[in-house]
Amino acid sequence: MKQSLFALVMAALAMMPVGPAAQTVQTQTEPTQTERQQAEPPQIGPETGLPLPRYVSLKTSAGRARRGPSTSHRVDWVFAHRNMPLRITGEFENWRRVEDSEGEGGWMHYSQLSGVRTVLVTRDMVPMLERPQLDAPQVALLEAGVVAHIIECLFDWCRLSVDGTRGWVDRTALWGLDPGELLD
C-alpha cells in the first residue's frame, strides 16, 4: 500500500513542470488586464446606449466634477482646460462619471461634455511629423500637457491639430484613445 501511494505521488510530481516551464504555465493561466478587458463583452451605457468606457472632451473652460450625480453633491474637482480629454466610466440620467489621465474626476452634467475627440500629450518634447514615418520632417515639438484635436488615428500614429498646426504623432505619447482604436 505504501509503495503504491509512493509511486502515485512520484508520478504526480514527475508530471509537474519545474524551472522556466513552471513559470510559463503560471503566466499563461493568469490573463493580463488587457486580455481580461478584451475577453469581456463591452459595457453599454444605460442612458445613451454608447459603449463604456469612452472618451469625450470638456466643452467649457471650467467643468465641475461632483462627488455624486446631482447638483446637491459637493464639487470635488474642477477641470480648467477647455477641450481636455476625459474618459466616461459611468452614466446616471443626465450625469456622466468621468476621469482624467491621472484618474481624478467625478460626476459631470452631460451639457459640460462634447463628443469632439481630443488627446493629451503625456511625454515632453514629442515630435509632430509631416507623415506617419519616423524619418519624416518635423513640423513641431509638443510639450507634455498639450491638448490636441484628433484628425485621424491609425494603428501606431495619430494626425493631430494644435492651434492650426497639423502633423502626425506617435500614439504611445498620447492619452485619450483606447489601444487599437482607429479614428478617421
The residue among 109, 167, 175, 111 whose CA lies nearest residue 145 is 175
Residue with cell 493580463: 32
pLDDT of residue 180: 86
When divided into structural domains, the chain yields a total of 2
Query: Which three three-digit cell numbers place residue 107?
Result: 460626476
Distance CA 121, CA 137 (A): 19
Q: Indicate whether 126 and 112 sit together in one domain.
A: no
Rounded to whole angstroms, what are the CA distances from 152 to 98, 148, 178? 23, 12, 14
Identify the H or E element spanning 74. Answer: none
Task: Evaluate whether residue 85 is within a structural domain.
Answer: yes
Specify whether 53 is located in the same domain as 106.
Answer: yes
> What is the pLDDT at residue 36?
52
Q: Are 178 and 150 in contact (CB under 8 A)?
A: no
Q: Are residues 128 and 168 in the same domain?
A: yes
Cα–Cα distance measured from residue 173 to residue 124, given in angstroms and rounded to the nearest whole number: 9
Structural domain of 67: 43-116
pLDDT of residue 171: 95
Mean pLDDT by runs of 10 across the 184 residues of the chain is: 47 48 48 55 89 96 96 95 97 97 96 97 98 97 98 96 97 94 88
In the prediction, which pLDDT does 42 show?
76
Give the pLDDT score at 65: 97
Same domain, yes or no: 157 and 123:
yes
- Closest by CA position to 86, among listed 122, 46, 118, 50: 118
Q: What is the rounded distance in angstroms from the CA atom of residue 25 to the CA atom of residue 17?
A: 8
Q: How many Å apart are CA 92 and CA 107, to the nearest integer? A: 9
Same domain (yes/no): 96, 136: no
Q: What is the pLDDT of residue 12?
A: 46
131 and 112 within one domain = no
- Give pLDDT, residue 51: 93
CATH number of the domain bearing residue 149: 2.30.30.40
**Same domain (yes/no): 125, 76:** no
CA–CA separation, 54 and 60 (whole Å) = 19
Q: How far is CA 53 from the centre of its chain?
A: 9
Average pLDDT, the chain: 86
Secondary structure (3-state) at 54:
strand
